[in-house]
Structure 1
C-alpha cells in the first residue's frame, strides 16, 4: 500500500511531513467550517465576528467559540492522528495510548502537577513583569497588546450564566487542548526531536519550547514552557500519553473554574489559585523552591515506578 512508504521516513522528513499535515488539516477543516456555518450564521455576520466584532454581543462570542473549537481540532487533534497512522499504521501504539499504568503512577503524575503549581505561579509572575530593552519597546508594546486582547477574549468566553455554558467552556478550553496539544507536542513532535537528537531531554525541551511559542504569549512563555517540560517527563517516565493529557486537563480546568468563580464575584477562589492573599501577591520564592524540589522527588519516583522507561528513553 502506498501509505506504508511514510513509515520509513527519517526524523527530519517526518518533521516536514508533520508540518504539512498540520497546515492542510487546519485549512481544510477551517474552510469546511465556514461553508457549514454560512447557511446558519450568514457570511457577513461571520466575517464581522472574525475580524473583531462586538465582544459584548452573545452572537459574536458564540461564533468565536465555534471557530476556536474548529481551530483547535484542525491544528491539534486531527493532525497527530493522521501522522500516527501515516508513520506507524497503529495510532494507539505510535501515540503511546495503549500503555497500562498503575494507580501509583497516575497519582504521582497528578500530584507532581499540583506540587509544581506554586513554582510555576511564581515564575509566571516574574515572566509577566519582564521588560525588553529600550530599542525593542515597540515590540514589547505589541506583545502586551496581544496579551491583553487574549486575556480579554478569554475573560469574555468565561462569563457564562448556565451550567451548560460552563461545561462547554471546560470542553473548549480544557478537554480539546489537553487531548490535541498533548497528542501533537508530546505524542508526535517530542518523539521526532528525541529521534533527531538521540536524547529524550532534548526532545522534551525542544517540543516544550515550540509548545509555548505557538501560543504567542511572551509574558506567559516561561511558565508554559515549564509545564510542557513537566508533561514531557511524565510521558517519558510513565510511558503513557494519557497521563500528560490528564494533567493538562486538570491544569486548564482549574484555571477555567477559578476564572469562572471570579467572574461570578468570588475573587477569593482566583486569589487562592494564584497564591495571592490580601491586597498583594505573595512572592514566596522559598515556597517555589520547595515546590520544585517536591516535583523533582515525585518525578523521580515515577521514573522508578514507570513500566516502560527503557522503551521510551531509547527513542
Structure 2
C-alpha cells in the first residue's frame, strides 16, 4: 500500500479536481522555471553563449562542452524539476508525510532480488510493445497527428543519440547522474510517490490509480511512438510500490532500467558490444510471452514476501 499521510483539505477526495489541477500547475510551473535558471547558468559554468545553446538543444553544436551543458540543463529541468514539484505539492500543499522510517522498514532484501526478476520479465515483454508501438499506423483522419508524432519522435531520437554519444568517462558519469539517478528519483517521487496514492484515493481503486499514474507518466514525455512500453514500465513501478509499501523499490527499479540502457550505449561506443538505441527489430513472440510469464510470477511472489505494514483503512484515514 502506498504511504502518503495527510490531513490537508485540498488532498481530500471531495477536492479531487482542484487537487489534480494544482498538481498540473505546480509541475509545469516548476518545469518552466528551473530549466530557465539552468540555461541562464550555462554561460558562466560552461562558457557557451546563449545563441550557441539553440544549436546545442538540437544536438548539432560543435562545442566540446555542449553535451555536458545539455545534460546539466536536462538534469535540472527534468529529474530535479519533478523532484522539486513533488516536494512542493507534498510538503507545502498537501502537508503530507511519506513516513520514511516505515518505507525503509518495508524494503526487504528478498524483495530487492525479486525486483530484478520482475524487471527482466518486463523488459522482455516490453520488446514486443516497443516494436508494435513503433510500427503502428493510425487511421487516415489522424494523419496530421501521425506526422507530428513521427517528427517529434525523430527530434527526440536525435537529442537522445547526441546526449548518449559519450566521448569520455566524465560525460558517461554525468549521463548516469542525470538520465539514470535524477530522472529515476524525480519521476518516481512525483508519479508514484504523490500522484499514484492520490489517484488511488480519488478513484477508490488501486489498480486504476496505478494505470492512470502510468498513463500520465508516459504522456508527459510527449512521445507517442514509445507511449505504451513506457506506460507499462510506469505500471510495473506502480505495482512495486503498491505491493510493498516502499517507494524505494520503484526508485531503484527506475534507476536500474535507465542506467542499464546507458551502459549498453556506452559499451557499444567502446566497441565492446553491438547495441543500437534506435534499432527496433521484429521480436520473438515466444520470448516476449516468456517475459510476461516471468513478470507475472515475479509479482505473485513479490506480493507475498513484501506485504506492507499498512492497511487500506489506514491509507483512507490518513490521506
Taking a change above 3 Å as real, the CA distance of residues 160 and 88 of structure 1, as seen in their structure-2 partners, is same
Most deviating of 124-133 and 15-24: 15-24
**1:282 CA displacement:** 5.3
**1:166 CA displacement:** 0.9
Of the candidates 150, 161, 184, which is equivalent to residue 156 of structure 2? 150
Per-residue displacement from partner, 1:119-178 (whole Å, max 9, x unpaired)? 001111111111111232232122112111211211111112222211111111111111
Q: Which sections of structure 2, spanning at least 5 residues, go unmatched? A: 1-5
Aligned residues of 2:67 and 2:171 also touching (Cα < 8 A): no
The residue aligned with 1:179 is 185
- The DSSP-based 3-state class of the residue aligned with 2:162 is helix
Of the candidates 14, 19, 40, which is equivalent to residue 14 of structure 1? 19
- The DSSP-based 3-state class of the residue aligned with 1:58 is coil
Return the alpha-carbon distance in structure 2 between the equivalents of residues 56 and 235 of structure 1.
43
**1:90 CA displacement:** 5.5
The residue aligned with 1:208 is 214
Aligned residues of 1:237 and 1:302 also touching (Cα < 8 A): yes
**1:38 CA displacement:** 4.6
Taking a change above 3 Å as real, the CA distance of residues 226 and 53 of structure 1, as seen in their structure-2 partners, is closer
The residue aligned with 2:31 is 26
Of the candidates 230, 233, 252, which is equivalent to residue 227 of structure 1? 233
The residue aligned with 1:243 is 249
Of the candidates 58, 62, 67, which is equivalent to residue 68 of structure 2? 62
**1:197 CA displacement:** 0.4
Return the alpha-carbon distance in structure 2 between the equivalents of residues 176 and 206 of structure 1.
23
Superposed, which structure 2 residues align to 1:90-129 within 5 Å?
Answer: 91-93=97-99, 97-129=103-135
The residue aligned with 1:195 is 201
Return the alpha-carbon distance in structure 2 between the equivalents of residues 175 and 96 of structure 1.
23
Return the alpha-carbon distance in structure 2 between the equivalents of residues 259 and 78 of structure 1.
29
The residue aligned with 1:253 is 259
Taking a change above 3 Å as real, the CA distance of residues 157 and 195 of structure 1, as seen in their structure-2 partners, is same
Normalising by structure 1, report the TM-score: 0.86
**1:53 CA displacement:** 6.8
Task: Give aligned pairs, total.
Answer: 305
Return the alpha-carbon distance in structure 1 between the equivalents of residues 205 and 309 of structure 2.
14
The residue aligned with 2:301 is 301
Aligned residues of 1:54 and 1:60 also touching (Cα < 8 A): no
Taking a change above 3 Å as real, the CA distance of residues 312 and 290 of structure 1, as seen in their structure-2 partners, is farther
The residue aligned with 2:3 is none
Residues 1:76 and 2:82 aligned together: yes
**1:43 CA displacement:** 5.3
Aligned residues of 1:158 and 1:260 also touching (Cα < 8 A): yes
